[in-house]
Structure 1
Amino acid sequence: MAFKKSLLTALALISLFVAGCSKEGNHQAGDAQKTITVATDSDTAPFTFKEKDDFKGYDIDLVKAIFKDSKEYKVQFETVPFSSILTGLDAGRYQLVANNINYNEERAQKYLFSDPVSLSNYALVSKDRKLASFDQLSGKTAEALPGSNYAQALENWNKEHPDKTPIQVNYVSDKTGLAQRLQNIENGKIDFILYDAISAKYVAQDQGLNLSVTNLKDKLGSNKDGLEYFLFTKDKEGQELAQFVNKRLASLKKDGTMKKLSEQYFGGDFVSSLD
């Protein structure tokens, strides 16, 4: 009788131990899935925007496809003013930037770029349908976000052409979105903006604006002109995340997902020509 009681006690203890191990194992498995916070300004349609509380756009849906069914990562999005995105990445608040990011050397020294995710063109947006090159911009007025590739390109032209009347660049805050800048062209407040052709055409059509969106004839000095990327920190964590993302991008391009999203949001195939 005593033996039977001892056996039952031992079995009960073993059951408790197994249950405890099971719970601990499940907890560890859950902790192993790292949360990736994606920074986006939600104001660069059709790449990134919001419908009520839902994150939408080519970049957003592509990120969702990248992390779908991942056992290693789970993803969440956060709306961040464009001017604060890189400082937040530096501080570790975000691990990935998805916001129609273009390449420049200054960023490349500090951050990691993904493989390209779309290919558009730089475009001049104005009421003058003949406006297509920098040489025609001398003395004209534009608006741009400070620190953007567009602002940098206009600033560089001014520096490289001191003999010509400079382009007047009015710097605007994140609150002055693309739609407002296009309205400022329409009402004559500024002459033009330099911007991404896909976004400019999308927003101009959405707002019913009669503006010319003309691909820029000038090359801005790199074979990366017009390419869009995701951005990561230049550390071990960022390198591991970039490897994961690039591997998934290759799969999504091969299975047609990227082309499908491009056609859905851009109205055409802006990915098949990517290397």
Structure 2
Amino acid sequence: MKKKLGTFAILITLATCFLVACSSQSQSESSRTKITIATDSDTAPFTFKKDGQFKGYDIDVLKAIFKDSDKYEISFITTAFDSILTGVDADRYQIAANDFNYNQERAEKYLFSDPISKSNYAVTSKSGTSYDSLDQLSGKKTEALAGSNYAQILENWNKANPDKEPIQINYAAAGTALTTRVQHIENGSIDFILYDAISSQYIVKDQGFDLTVTQLKTDIGSEKDGLEYLLFAKTKEGKELKRFVDKRIKELKEDGTLSDLSTTYFGGDFASNLN
């Protein structure tokens, strides 16, 4: 009888320890700050979905940044491109991740992480036709998402060159896939798409388009051209989150994680040369 009681007492003790451990883990998880990361899931290879799962360079970089964090718990959400930053404004999302480049208008409203990749601007056009400067795009037709960095580059060129035939910019509806816009080059409704070299080369190869991708030879804007960032709200919480993210980006660059992910998704190292 005593032996049975002893065994019972041991089982009770083990069960209690298990429940305490589970409770501690649950409390630890519930105490972590929830971070929602917004993306349009349509900017491969930076961010896309495969079999319903979030994939891409930006996604895996963020997973690596927050891996084993006892402070933050992340989740991803898909939304239209033009709703990403308005969602950050409203604090629905705490991080914007969608191959964001730098521009002054965004810098006035949002905080930028340290860069996570560097890619040149490129022009996608019909096979056998190449454009390696903005001047060559004068009078040509294109499509761009309103508010995107690429649209602003073309708009700025038009403003700076009033004596030349303007670049004709058709503003695509929010959520119009890059693939759809690239198809419009093949069917002749537009002449080119200005985008980053990584995405342009990826989509042409992945979708089997018979098109030419040419990197621009001329610099555009500033030394920040071609750099990719994560964006945060200009708030106390946003600044704290940025500090955490920047620290981890530095660590991931130093240990080779960024270069490895770049090679996996981009087919080359677009991260080790980051300043």
Does the alignment reach a TM-score above 0.5? yes
Rounded Cα–Cα distance in structure 2 between residues aligned with 1:25 and 1:218? 57
Other-structure match for 2:219: 219
Trace 1:27-66 onto structure 2 (pairs within 5 A): 28-66=27-65
Q: Determine whether 1:170 maps to 2:134.
A: no
Residue equivalent to 2:187: 187
- How far apart are residue 217 of structure 1 and its match? 1.9
Equivalent residue number for residue 16 of structure 1: none
Residue identity opposite 2:86 in structure 1: T
Secondary structure at the aligned position of 1:64 is classed as helix
Distance, in Å, in 2 between the alignment partners of 1:171 and 1:63 is: 30
Query: What's the CA shift for 1:30?
Result: 3.5
Q: Does the CA-based 8 Å contact 2:116-2:271 persist in structure 1?
A: yes
SS in 2 for 1:195: strand
**Residue 198 of structure 1 corresponds to which residue in structure 2?**
198
Q: Distance in 1 between matches of 2:113 and 2:134?
A: 29
Instruction: Give the counterpart letter for 2:59 in structure 1.
Output: I
Measure how far apart 1:221 and its partner are. 1.5
Where do 1:1-275 residues align within 5 Å?
A: 28-127=27-126, 128-275=128-275
1:7-57, Cα deviation, whole Å (9 max, x unpaired): xxxxxxxxxxxxxx9999766533320111000000000000001210000
TM-score (norm 1): 0.89
CA distance in 2, matches of 1:92, 1:122: 31
Q: Percent of pairs identical after alignment?
A: 62
Report deviation, 1:191: 0.3
Asked if structure 2 preserves the Cα contact closer than 8 Å seen for 1:36 and 1:96, the reply is yes
Instruction: Summarize the Cα distance change of 1:136–1:71 in structure 2 as closer, same or farther, 3 Å threshold.
Output: same
Larger radius of gyration: 1
- Write the distance in 2 (CA, Å) between the matches of 1:135 and 1:267: 30
Question: Quick one: which amino acid aligns to residue 257 of structure 1?
Answer: T
Q: Secondary structure at the match of 1:222?
A: coil
How far apart are 1:175 and its partner, in Å? Answer: 3.1
TM-score normalised by the chain length of structure 2: 0.89
Q: Within 2, Cα distance between the matches of 1:191 and 1:22? A: 62
**2:81 and 2:175 in contact (8 A); partners too:** no
Are the counterparts in 1 of residues 118 and 227 from structure 2 also a CA contact under 8 Å?
A: yes
Partners of 1:139 and 1:249 in 2: CA distance: 41
Equivalences, count:
258
Structure 1: tracts of 5 or more residues without a match: 1-20
* 8 Å CA contact retained: 2:130, 2:213: no
How much is the aligned-residue C-alpha RMSD, in angstroms? 2.0
Aligned to 2:7: none
TM-fit CA distance, 1:130? 3.2
Task: In structure 2, list runs of 5 or more residues that go unmatched.
Answer: 1-19
CA change 1:27–1:264 in 2 (3 A) is closer
* Cα distance change on mapping 1:23 and 1:267 into 2, 3 Å: closer
Matched AA of 2:157: W
Name the aligned partner's letter for residue 168 of structure 1. Q
Report SS of the residue matched to 2:228. Answer: strand
